[in-house]
Structure 1
């Protein structure tokens, strides 16, 4: 166990940051609207996201470059620019909505302080931390920040839960071909298998293994790290759906419009302690996810234009790189003051990820099977099988969503 915990790094951080306020909103809405009906998605998304993130990690470790750098070196420029253009607005909206969610629940805990004060404070804190801390320090902090996710595993045990119904819902999928159900399904797929996490995973593994010889032992450690991180992420996802299905759906609360609303709804039903745990979890996951979001965006832009990059560099050594971090945070903060609904941004950001992710999955499958790029470390058969299942599943769900929007 001690050796396993030592191996946990970028994979754990990536998995934990996947359960950001955007994910919490999506999972809360799934539970409130459909009860236990979407618990099965936690089971099927685990192998899919583990397979894709492992490919990204392997690409980063083998090439010592992020996905953007690999695309720039080996593929047509239009593919690189398409990935950048499709990712930029979704990531900015995601950051802005996460900041808004953190501000809203902080205001619930301390009502005397307006939520906008918290949003500005969180923005400043994250920018300063990313400028003044090295990658190793940030990774260490984020690794321990992952512990906040454990709060979601506690709440269901504080309420009356029919565990036989839970197990039935997990292992026997219930699918409804309605517009609301398919929209939520695409949002769940998009927020668990998110394109920005692909870029972050590859870049962090490249940072971690920059001066190391990559061999089968190193890749085995990476696989264990990624699998552990994705398992933790999906376990938290399952427990959030479970909590909201058990507490909100069963008590007639079927619509969650804000993260604040999700936490508040728990208060009279599940008790003050459950409500506080949920609220603290939103803040913790936001602090964990936002550096990953703006960091992945900055790496993408810096690699595209050949700028000096890296969280291990001082500000004066990589001014454009840190400039993108600052700019993305400020633009994201501004979205909270121009009438953009935080919750709609959170939910529809997940939907947008769900629509764009299949293209990125296809690109990752091509890179990880390209012997010119990967040498002897191309995909094994199981990786390809899971990768294609992911692509087909996400494409089918996105296709159904588009169909329901047209009809």
Structure 2
């Protein structure tokens, strides 16, 4: 790639472009992919933003590992969860989107104004706990996937990826970062290609998708909670609201007063954006489960624990192309999701502390925001070197999200149903019902998982 090798103005040395130049030219290279899309589709894609990026970031290496474990262990049996979780995911993310657009503040900023500080800081603590484990798991997953195809030691790649991501977040504007994130979403279609190459049983797939199959075992329920936890994750709530605020800032609305309120046209556009992003997220989840079910479970391989193992196992069963596509997906989704994990943590804590904080601010102007971002990355990095089992982090970080999400969803539903917060833009009856349903489903699933794990160990 020319932007990785040629010396450019503003580079950090001969042949070494700075992170800003790297990101700018990388975005230009990614945008060239759009020339292959029909004009109408290009226009539709151009109108998408925070919803698309949030949905794509949901399919991080931790999530891919959870879906891979699911497909290998249970075959097509949990394909139905993609349909089941879609409306729940849309409801929560749409409420977060509306909250950011109407109030002009992020989720933590609104909580700060409406609830006691202990509620606010408890919510931020839950987010930070889940995020640092996810960051550690995702950095490790990216590094191991890269080692598989390059032979470079993953212990070198983990800090290298962390340093690259921190550099890009520190020295690039929000608009440039958002543009690259947007085009990175195309990487997710690698999993669709891998699924087709795995030659699945389409009759069995249709049946498993439309007819739910449930097993009353600890392993099945833990996997189900893991799917919900990685699909409906706390960091997505904060990121979605925060990005709506960033979009407003990018349009020149710098103060809260300028950002407050949203037109019907803006809310409808946001709805399409969220629906598209969440559909993409669950579409990819569906194909990862399908791929590992068709290629691994169908051939008796049921004991994999990471996406990297799934990719390795795919090679002899589905061929080199499926292996390369699956591995590329792990690396690409990591580059998209890790910055969002760290960024959502920084947004939440900066808003909770009433600090200045935006990816458009320079580090010297938003020291607290960037300090939190760097600390989140640093703690996640340390987890990889502290002897924590990578397999356990990848899977159980998703389960932890499933346990932590319900109280955060309750806060989101309460806030977006409050006329003092939303004015005339409060949730409609259907959206409010879906929000409460999501909170109940997540809470019940987590409680049942705990009980079955105690009574009937996996």
TM exceeding 0.5: yes
Deviates most, 34-43 or 208-217? 208-217
1:49 pairs with one of 69, 89, 95: 89
Partner of 1:268: 316
Instruction: Point out 4+ residue stretches in structure 1 off by more than 6 angstroms.
Output: none
Q: Are residue 94 (structure 1) and residue 134 (structure 2) matched? A: yes
Conservation of the 8 A alpha-carbon contact between 2:68 and 2:306: no
Partner of 1:82: 122
Partner of 2:425: 377
Partner of 1:25: 65
Query: Whose RCO is larger (CA < 8 A, sep 6+)?
Result: 1
* Separation in structure 1 between the aligned mates of residue 248 and residue 428 of structure 2, nearest angstrom: 21
Partner of 2:336: 288
* Separation in structure 1 between the aligned mates of residue 170 and residue 198 of structure 2, nearest angstrom: 42
Conservation of the 8 A alpha-carbon contact between 1:64 and 1:207: no
5+ long unaligned stretches in structure 2: 1-39, 254-258
Conservation of the 8 A alpha-carbon contact between 2:123 and 2:408: yes
Q: Which is greater in Rg?
A: 2
The CA RMSD measured in Å over matched residues stands at 1.0
Partner of 2:445: 397
Superposed displacement of residue 242, structure 1: 0.3
* Separation in structure 1 between the aligned mates of residue 47 and residue 423 of structure 2, nearest angstrom: 24
1:79-228 matched pairs, under 5 angstroms:
79-111=119-151, 113-210=152-249, 211=253, 214-228=262-276
Conservation of the 8 A alpha-carbon contact between 2:132 and 2:376: yes
Superposed displacement of residue 164, structure 1: 1.2
Partner of 2:74: 34
Superposed displacement of residue 159, structure 1: 2.5
Q: Are residue 9 (structure 1) and residue 49 (structure 2) matched? A: yes
| 1:47-70 Cα distance to aligned partner (Å, 9 max, x none) | 110110000000001111111000
| 1:131-168 Cα distance to aligned partner (Å, 9 max, x none) | 11111110000000100001001112212221111111
* Separation in structure 1 between the aligned mates of residue 54 and residue 195 of structure 2, nearest angstrom: 25
How many residue pairs end up in the alignment?
406
* Separation in structure 1 between the aligned mates of residue 303 and residue 400 of structure 2, nearest angstrom: 21
* Separation in structure 2 between the aligned mates of residue 266 and residue 61 of structure 1, nearest angstrom: 43
TM-score normalised to structure 1 length: 0.98
* Separation in structure 2 between the aligned mates of residue 363 and residue 305 of structure 1, nearest angstrom: 18
Conservation of the 8 A alpha-carbon contact between 1:7 and 1:224: no
Partner of 1:58: 98
